[in-house]
Chains A and B, each alone.
Chain A
Amino acid sequence: MIINRRNFLVAASAGAALSLPLARSVFAQENYPSHPVSFIIGNPPGGDDDTLSRFLAEQIRADLGQTIIVDNRGGGATTVAGNLVASSDPDGYRILCLTTSGIVQTVLRDNLPYNLDNFAPIVGIGGYPMALVVSGQSDIKTMDDLIKVAKSPDGITFGSAGAGTLAHLTAVRFLKEIGGNGVHVAFKNNPEGLQALGGGFIQMMFPSAREAATLSANGLLRVLAVTSPERTSNLPDVATMRELGHPDIDSMLWYGYMAPKGTPDAVVQRLSDAISKGVQSEAFHQKFQPLAFQEQLLTGGPLREFMTVQAQRWQTVIKENNVKFTD
């Protein structure tokens, strides 16, 4: 009850504060932030975007001198939150936590009311690498075994948490690269898919390296490769896709923070400095490095380029494989 009501009041007061007409003057910029800032999360509480943002919000509060409210606006496969921030006042008080799926959505859907150009990118912080896993029960022991199965007439069965997810698109891209063919089986979420994999009902999947590490330690599945450029701390014996000759299979469950387009540069800079400092803090390292979080701070031009490359890459995969969605 307490939580319910507090959330409601905080959200309501933040909403009221933001709807006030804000003078976008130099004076406002110099005093930024003069009231609490909201991080808008596109998923319900409990996801990685939520956990990371809540931790960062705590870290940078002292630096900014203002509370950061983490505001979960789930819905529309992160597009409800995306649209909210894209159409907000460009004053730096509503910040979107953009994910790779958020980027994929902008090229997947025809009639979204916004696109990536509607954002002023603040900072990309990096993310979690993925892992190529096969069932612990299967005969597939190496990448060569897997390629052989994928090239067989029946192909290989692979799971994901639904069409258009990064795991689905990564598998499609990987199969194209090795010249194999596969049958996609959609699950409600990764754990359900991984259980089916463990039971031998499907053959291959791309969970995050973190999930893979837990389950391979238990013998449920075998990890053949990770998608990060370097080996990860939780799976030191597993080769990277680069080592195995597939450097393009480098998908990452990535996170970045976006302001609405037109936000003053000084405000973007202020936020980018604060968030970067939070990511580089000892406390952040201590919590997220054991989970194989790959820090990759990007700002300005390189960040915009990263986002454009990601969008183009997945657009190609989507077009080539005809996974375009219509409403």
Chain B
Amino acid sequence: MLDNLALGLSVAFTFQNLAFSFVGCVIGTAIGVLPGVGPVATISLLLPLTFGLDPITAMIMLAGIYYGAQYGGSTSAILLNLPGEVTAVVTTLEGHKMARAGRAGAALTVAAIGSFFAGTVATLVVAGAGPLLTSVAMAFGPAEYFSLILLGLIAATVLAHGNILKSLAMIVLGVLFGLVGTDLQSGQIRFTLGFPQLFEGVGFVPLAMGLFGIAEIIRNLECPENRSGTVSRVGKLWLTKDEFSRSVPSVLRGTALGSLLGVLPGGGLALSTFASYMLERKVSKHREEFGSGAIEGVAGPESANNAASQTSFIPMLTLGIPANAVMALMIGALMIQGIQPGPRMIDEQPTLFWGLIASMWIGNLMLLVINLPLVGVWVSLLKVPYKYLYPAILVFCGIGAYSVNNSAFDVYQTVVFGLIGYALIKLEFEPAPLLIGFVLGPMLEEYLKRAMVLSRGDVSVFIDRPVSAVFLALGALALAAMILPSIRRRKEEAIAE
């Protein structure tokens, strides 16, 4: 493996490849920071440019855009409470709280370092354990996915800080929003209120920008002291010793979780950040800080997210199956170059295969090099007075929402969700569980239907399959652990009376 990696590094380390990796990472970071147009649209716009390049150079640039976007999303999530990608939702929870407490620099730094470490480990995982993890992913059928996602949804109640009932309500509301649009299995159209724009469902970008970004702006404008002044003081950029030592175990845990879950196409990436956040909240020694800016809540999920985006390459490299739309485009780009992605690539195109893997690591290094110096620049954004910052954010949200489908309807959606988000803040409901319900709910339904259609309506399929049964048992345990203490408390109260 080391020989192969050395071969890969020798291929990837040319001036041209490094230059294109740099360009890709910069473009990716830029589109990641701005919510709206994501890596898929950007890559397809730039695809014609890659026709004239070496296959390896083309892949290096496209992969750079992909990692860059994953990484850039966390910057706006931390600084402005604007999650542009599903994976950045969790980062807003602790990251933005840290920014408000003057620790934006630390949050951005730990995100960059954690991502780099996770990316390095995950690259080795891709190189060493790809085929093994592929066989695990292939054994995941609809029943296993259903039970895993159900476990994720149950655990998502942990994301809210107050009342369990309220967070359950938010999850259910999110699931309902997620069901808007065409049902895959029957083709029936649900809850679209007659708008053809909703046939494909409510967009993630309008929903997330509305509930988080816009709602937060409205809330801040309520307080007169927020109308002048700035978001927060800038504070120290680097991590304190204490913050550093607290982050290390979180980064390790996040890396492990992300590397495993990333292999599962359809949901693995999103689940990895949620799972990491929940894990950190359970095992952290500073549990009381969660909700007011715990660094573990940034370090873990950010590492998980980056590890998962690397290992999600595995199904493409070992089977030729793209784990997401970005990979599908990369496969398209490879085929236009006359290369069939898949296991035969290792033998037939070893320089390309190992070059690509080496370029993953180079891309991560490049992101670290680009982003660490930028931390200071980003953080200085917080010095911009509200009266300039807020209109600017609103304009960028508008452009971002519009540009996904070139549709004004999406801008209106953003406004509506902004108002809903404001109402939720006023009623003290937290939006994070809603977004998780929105992302996982439709998947839960789809996998449930698939499993039931395949078992011809026999529910026992979820228990007969061992992996699925284990996930369900864990879900039941989690539920019991949440409900039992409150029952016990009530009993004790009754006895005391």
A residues with a Cβ closer than 8 A to B are: 1-5, 7-8, 11, 44-46, 50-51, 54-55, 58, 71-77, 79-80, 83, 108, 157, 161-164, 183-188, 191-192, 194-196, 198-199, 201-202, 210, 213-215, 217-218, 220, 287, 290-291, 323, 325-327
- By CB atoms of chain A within 10 A, which of B41, B184, B331, B409 has the most? B184
Beta-carbon contacts under 8 Å, B391-442 to A: 399-400, 402-407, 409
CA distance A198 to B265 in the complex (A): 14
12 A-B Cβ contacts within 8 A? A72-B41, A72-B405, A75-B197, A184-B185, A186-B446, A191-B328, A192-B265, A192-B266, A195-B315, A214-B340, A215-B320, A220-B320
CA distance A186 to B183 in the complex (A): 9
B319 lies within 8 A of chain A by Cβ: yes
| B194 with A46: CB separation less than 8 A | no
Q: Which residues of B contact A76 (CB under 8 A)?
A: 196-197, 199-200
B192 lies within 8 A of chain A by Cβ: yes
CA distance A213 to B449 in the complex (A): 29
Question: Within the complex, which residue of B47, B403, B446 is in contact with A8, where a contact is CB–CB below 8 Å?
Answer: B403
CA distance A12 to B332 in the complex (A): 30
- By CB atoms of chain A within 10 A, which of B197, B320, B341 has the most? B320
Contact with A along B320-357 (1 / 0, CB 8 A): 11110100110110011010111110000000000000
Q: Which residues of B contact A291 (CB under 8 A)?
A: 335-336
Given that A162-B182, A217-B342 are contacting pairs, would A58 and B37 also be in contact in the complex, using a CB cutoff of 8 Å?
no
Q: Which residues of B contact A46 (CB under 8 A)?
A: 40-41, 43-44, 325, 328-329
| A287 with B403: CB separation less than 8 A | no
| A215 with B187: CB separation less than 8 A | no
Question: Within the complex, which residue of A1, A51, A161 is in contact with B34, where a contact is CB–CB below 8 Å?
Answer: A1
B residues with a Cβ closer than 8 A to A are: 27, 30-31, 33-34, 36-37, 40-45, 47-48, 51, 137-142, 182-189, 192, 194, 196-197, 199-200, 265-266, 315, 319-323, 325, 328-329, 331-332, 335-336, 338, 340-344, 399-400, 402-407, 409, 446, 449-450, 453-454, 456
Q: Which residue of B lies closest to A57 (CB)?
A: B48
CA distance A327 to B329 in the complex (A): 32
Q: Which residue of B lies closest to A73 (CB)?
A: B406
Given that A163-B184, A210-B335, A215-B320 are contacting pairs, would A77 and B199 also be in contact in the complex, using a CB cutoff of 8 Å?
yes
Q: Which residue of A lies closest to B197 (CB)?
A: A75
CA distance A213 to B344 in the complex (A): 13
| B141 with A199: CB separation less than 8 A | yes
Q: Which residues of A contact B183 (CB under 8 A)?
A: 163
CA distance A287 to B336 in the complex (A): 6
| A196 with B142: CB separation less than 8 A | yes
CA distance A2 to B37 in the complex (A): 11
- By CB atoms of chain A within 10 A, which of B140, B187, B189, B328 has the most? B187
Q: Which residues of A contact B45 (CB under 8 A)?
A: 3, 45, 54
CA distance A183 to B471 in the complex (A): 27
Distance to closest chain A CB from B436 (angstroms): 18
The 8 closest A-B pairs by CB, nearest first: A163-B187, A76-B196, A186-B184, A45-B44, A218-B342, A186-B185, A214-B320, A46-B44
Distance to closest chain A CB from B324 (angstroms): 9
| A79 with B196: CB separation less than 8 A | yes
Q: Which residues of B contact A196 (CB under 8 A)?
A: 141-142, 450
Distance to closest chain A CB from B412 (angstroms): 13
Question: Within the complex, which residue of A8, A74, A157, A161 is in contact with B200, where a contact is CB–CB below 8 Å?
Answer: A74
| A191 with B449: CB separation less than 8 A | no
CA distance A327 to B190 in the complex (A): 7
Question: Within the complex, which residue of B40, B137, B199, B344 is in contact with A75, where a contact is CB–CB below 8 Å?
Answer: B199
Q: Which residue of A lies closest to B141 (CB)?
A: A201
Distance to closest chain A CB from B126 (angstroms): 17
| B265 with A195: CB separation less than 8 A | yes
CA distance A58 to B47 in the complex (A): 12
Q: Which residue of A lies closest to B137 (CB)?
A: A195
Given that A4-B403, A196-B142 are contacting pairs, would A185 and B450 also be in contact in the complex, using a CB cutoff of 8 Å?
yes
| A8 with B48: CB separation less than 8 A | no
Q: Which residues of B contact A5 (CB under 8 A)?
A: 399
CA distance A191 to B205 in the complex (A): 24
| B450 with A1: CB separation less than 8 A | no
| A4 with B37: CB separation less than 8 A | yes
Q: Which residues of B contact A162 (CB under 8 A)?
A: 182, 184-185, 187
- Given A58-B48, A195-B138, A214-B335: 13 more A-B contacts, CB < 8 Å: A3-B42, A4-B31, A44-B41, A45-B44, A46-B325, A72-B406, A77-B200, A108-B187, A164-B187, A183-B453, A195-B321, A201-B141, A215-B319
Q: Which residues of B contact A198 (CB under 8 A)?
A: 138, 319, 321
